[in-house]
Each structure stands twice: as C-alpha cells, then as structure tokens.
Amino acid sequence: MNPNSEETEKLNKIHNFMCGILDSDQSGHDSSHIDRVIGLTKKILKKEPTANQFIVLASATLHDTYDDKLFVDQREAKKKVIDFLNAIDVDPKPIIYIIDNMSWSAETFGQAKKLDINGQIVQDADRLEAIGAIAVIRAFKYAFKHQQIDYDPKIKARVLKNKTDYRNGKQTTINHFYEKLFKIKNSLNTETAKQIAKRRDEFMHEFVKEYIAEYNLDA
C-alpha cells in the first residue's frame, strides 16, 4: 500500500531529520547514500505488494542514523531517533527492529533476529549500495577516513569469527572485498535485488582483478 498524505508528510520530516544527522558524513554514509538506498527500496517495493511501504521507506531513511561505525555514543544516537519518531507520532518499534537486525555483521555473526518482508527489502537495498561502482568509491572513502591502507599482498584476507574481528585488526581495502563485499550477492532476499546484484558484483570482481594486476605491474 502506498503511503497516504499524512505518511508522506511524515516521511519528509524523517528525511529532513536524517539529513541533519548525516549530511556532513565523509565515510560514504551521507544523505546521498541514503537517497540511493531509498531509490533501490522503491524499485524492490514495486515487486513486493505485501510490504508496508511507510515502514520500509522510514527504515531505509533512518538506517544509518545510529550506526555504531559512525557514532561514538550509539545509545544516545538511537535515543534521539526514537524520541524524534515519537514526537511525530510514528511508532518506532517496527522501524528500530528492522534497523537493529538488518546489518551484515549482525546477520553474519549470529546477532540478528528474523526479518519479515519489510526488513528484507531495506536490507537488500542497503546491501546493493555496498556493491558495484559507487560501492568501490564508498569503500575507499571509508578507508581514507580511517587511515586504512589500500592494499598490501603480505596482509591476507581474514576469516572473520565475530564483530570484534570485523571492526578491528589489520586490514586493507582490497581485502574488504574478499571479507565482505564479494559475499553480499549470495545474501540477498528478494528476486529484484538478486537481479540488480549480478552486474554490480561482476564489476567489483573486475575492478579488484585489474587493481591487483596494475599493482603487480602485470597490466
């Protein structure tokens, strides 16, 4: 069901709230990233008529507003989101549930609860943003912000056992493709997302192949 006029007004308020938090981000999680996730969400929604579009779009808009990668005090950032939703008369529970359980790390390391179709759509849209050409740029933007080196053949891709391993330890941006990004295509839920992912995944593999060839002076 499409959002009604009242819900559309609330979605606009939610978007403005998100922009106030993320517009200045320099790690690849700014409002332009959110807008692309929203766009992908709308693409997927066209093929998923049982989804609640308001819940899906609100969750997509807010999904990075208290990400622990971006905020030192995640608990306080989350409280601000909940307080804001309550203030505009939106039930925060289904939105917060999706955000808390959609991340790759939560799912990979057994910390996520089951998502319904609403959560699966948001999860797919965000994961599609993590693969492809723009995703390559985002990966290097994040690495630059955190002073992470691009590539070192002596540093091998890790077998990640928990979130602490994932977030810490010596890593390179190229290894991040092997540790996470190349795995995303097979983690998607909806058929629409799976179709979109094919070309994006192929591009990333070609990029990494070319990068390593040039690094080794083989190209």
Q: What is the pLDDT of residues 129-158, one digit of tens each?
A: 999 999 999 999 989 988 899 999 999 998
Kindly tell me if the per-residue pLDDT of 68 is higher than 90. no
Provide the pLDDT for residue 48.
98
Provide the pLDDT for residue 164.
72
CB-side exposure of 94: number of CA atoms within 13 Å? 17
Provide the pLDDT for residue 107.
83
Average pLDDT score over the chain: 94
Of 81, 87, 83, 86, the closest CA to residue 99 belongs to 81
Provide the pLDDT for residue 25.
83
The number of domains in the chain is 1
Range of the domain at 163: 5-215
The enclosing domain of 190 has a CATH number of 1.10.3210.50
Against a cut of 0.85, is the pTM above it?
yes
Which of helix, strand or coil describes residue 90? coil
Kindly tell me if the per-residue pLDDT of 177 is higher than 80. yes
* pLDDT grade for 55, boundaries at 50, 70 and 90: very high
Kindly tell me if the per-residue pLDDT of 69 is higher than 90. no
